[in-house]
Amino acid sequence: MSLLNDWREYAYSREMTNTKAGEKFWAEYFMIEKGIYEEILADIDNVVSGTVEELAKKYNTELSIMVGFLDGINDSLKTQNPIEEMDKDTVVSLDIDKEKLYYNMVEAKAEWLYELEVWDSLLTPEKRKELYKEQKKSGTIVKDKKVGRNDPCPCGSGKKYKKCCGAN
């Protein structure tokens, strides 16, 4: 089984959801995650890379926690890492697309991450607001106006809806 599967099986298991132990685990994980992001984003021009094990040591965390972090950040990288089949010796690179990362943090409702002070030096307040609105808007469902019986048919036939596609 891959490291990623092990992580997902453990982190999203029944014991880790809706239990005191799970709440404690996720609270600790989010604090570690926040610390790693603060460190990486403080020097975003320096692309962090190394084996999964080396990065775990660098950020003073367990291998499984680093795997969870890599799983979470992967969609925000310029080039994604092969996380599905990675092992402790897989070399990964954290070349972050900062706008995509901010957008994904908003999507994940990770306030503790998208409100980090370091964002002030990375994205303008206007850009953050734009990305925030764009992400929130992406989840909004807009219903089309209902076609009335006597309206022209939307198929473009020129007939009334009731005599065309609306006929039973």
pLDDT averaged per 10 residues in sequence order, the chain, 168 residues = 89 85 93 97 95 97 96 96 94 96 96 95 96 87 80 88 84
pTM of the model: 0.80
Rg for the chain, CA atoms, rounded: 23
User: Do the Cβ atoms of 120 and 80 come closer than 8 Å?
Assistant: no
- Nearest CA to 82 out of 11, 3, 7 is that of 3
